[in-house]
Structure 1
Amino acid sequence: MQTEILSYEADGLQMRSHLYVGDSSSVRRPGVLVFPEAFGLGDHAKSRAERLAAIGYVALACDLHGEGIVHDDLEAVMGLIAPLQKDPARTRARAGGGLETLLARPEVDPARVAAIGYCFGGTMALELARGGGEIAAAIGFHSGLATAAPEDAKNIRGKVLVCIGADDPGIDAAQRVAFEEEMRAGKVDWQMTLYGGVVHSFTNPDAGRLGRPDFARYDARTDARSWDEMLRLFDETFATAS
């Protein structure tokens, strides 16, 4: 496994993202951006990027807050995220910096690039797509679905998959319905998978650290199921693009 820290500027911040490449083959491979939960680029997103690299993808685990900073206070983090939610251009700028950096890598086939994300990272993947980012797929795990610019769904070039806990207090039925309407209006190739009895952060084994099991709770079965859904979409999407 080859790893490298890549630095680049995005939204006025100096980002420090982690690149994972499984081997030294000269053959160009599909690339995947991995956007982290709202706290920043921690072990969860890095481990997912490393896992993707181990099965043949070039994965970039992307910084969120600049300088590789990871926060541990939920209230403080929500204060940092709120301005980004109100201004999608800033979210897209941070995501777009990662995309430009990944596309510039000689190991990556630029026609076969996707973005995935967890929690706010899922929002980043979706906003990158709404902004017309050159990605073949955008996948969100327990991701926020709302946007301040739903009309931009018409700019989405690739496929969209969102994997959501049916009982996630932060992503209620009204938000899901609005997302469906947005995707239909934009004529997007989209899918939404709901998992019964599942709440937020179901992919993160450390979700229990929040001490709020009714809000955030790891679910191993749903973690595995949603990962498999992502891989199936990758197989479908990248086969078409190759």
Structure 2
Amino acid sequence: MRTLFTFLCLISGLMAGSAMAQEGNLPTTPEAEPKPEPEFAMAWGPRVESEIFEYSTGGETYQGYLARNANDEEPRPAVLVVHEWWGLDDYARARADQLAALGFVALAVDMYGGGQVATHPDKAGEFSSQVMQDWPAARARLEAAMTQLREHPAVADTGMAAIGYCFGGSVVMNMALSGMPIEAAISFHGGPTQAVSTPGEFSGAVQIHNGGADSLVKREDLTAMARTLEAQGADVDVINYPQALHGFTNPGADALAEEFDLPIGYNAAADASSWQAALLLLDRALNQ
């Protein structure tokens, strides 16, 4: 019996081994190659490019700074940026870059000619006074810039707007007061000096951002400018920011105040709030 049992076990073991050998000889199905993960569709943000933008009038050449989003294939509305009394400096260029990143073609204009920049308040006051005392010449410079800007292929034929800081704020208020063809004029801590002798009709919007603690702007002068603009047909908003000094949008204002003993200063809250209000107006006025 033990011999028979052993024999049967040997037979079953040989059969199992044969079956395993046959299994090993069978063709195997190759493993499926892993499918590549689909690429995630990523959008490109703005790619701001800038260039020197020259224009001429009255025998003088002016060197503006044009900024636009090079990734934008469609023409976009244009915004003029008018600098502080220092001239077309890095601050004005930075604001133009910001507007370009947000979908506008921004031209920081040169109001002094040849790209001149003042490094002392005395010279800055001299430059700015010369402009404001001869508004016809100032208007001619702005018109030359606007005329050439309209011919740029990146600029849409949907109207323009102008924003300005300090001296530039005074300029854009007078642009509206003289009836220049802009859809909106936005002033940041601009002096309400009327340089226009004969105001013209203006049906656009004017937004005036003023420091509540600005000792360089008299409240009665600001009110008079707003009322004069309204009388010419403008839709005027004056926004005062408590505790904000003159120059409240410029992060470099504190250093300038210390260096030259000027009553100016940066205010982050007023800067952010005024910028947001300005963008909403630009969107409404230019993007319809």
Contact 2:176–2:229 under 8 Å retained in 1: no
Q: Which amino acid aligns with 2:70?
A: D
CA offset digits 1:199-223 (Å, max 9, x no partner): 1111111112232677210111111
C-alpha distance in 1 between matches for 2:154 and 2:77? 9
- Note if 1:43 corresponds to 2:93: no
Q: Which amino acid aligns with 2:273?
A: R
How many residues are matched?
A: 239
Q: Which amino acid aligns with 1:145?
A: P
Q: Which amino acid aligns with 1:195?
A: Y
Aligned residue number for residue 11 of structure 2: none
Aligned residue number for residue 76 of structure 1: 123
Query: Compared with structure 1, are the counterparts of its residues 21 and 176 closer, same or farther at alpha carbon in structure 2 (3 Å cutoff)?
Result: same
SS state at 2:276 partner: helix
164-173 vs 93-102, which deviates more?
93-102
Contact 1:150–1:182 under 8 Å retained in 2: no
SS state at 1:139 partner: strand
Query: Compared with structure 1, are the counterparts of its residues 236 and 213 closer, same or farther at alpha carbon in structure 2 (3 Å cutoff)?
Result: farther
Contact 1:37–1:117 under 8 Å retained in 2: yes
Alpha-carbon RMSD: 1.8
Aligned with residue 229 of structure 2, among 176, 183, 208: 183
- Alpha-carbon deviation of 1:8? 0.9
Aligned residue number for residue 280 of structure 2: 232
- Note if 1:204 corresponds to 2:245: no
CA offset digits 1:43-70 (Å, max 9, x no partner): 1110010011011111111112111111
Query: Compared with structure 1, are the counterparts of its residues 11 and 129 closer, same or farther at alpha carbon in structure 2 (3 Å cutoff)?
Result: farther
Q: Which amino acid aligns with 1:126?
A: M
Query: Compared with structure 1, are the counterparts of its residues 148 and 70 closer, same or farther at alpha carbon in structure 2 (3 Å cutoff)?
Result: closer
SS state at 2:173 partner: helix
Query: Compared with structure 1, are the counterparts of its residues 11 and 138 closer, same or farther at alpha carbon in structure 2 (3 Å cutoff)?
Result: farther
Contact 2:174–2:196 under 8 Å retained in 1: no
1:71-220 aligned at under 5 Å gives the runs: 71-149=118-196, 151-152=198-199, 154-208=200-254, 209-211=256-258, 215-220=263-268
C-alpha distance in 2 between matches for 1:181 and 1:151? 15
TM-score normalised by the chain length of structure 2: 0.78
Structure showing greater radius of gyration is 2
30-39 vs 72-81, which deviates more?
72-81
Runs of 4+ in 1 over 4 A off after TM superposition: none
Contact 1:29–1:112 under 8 Å retained in 2: no
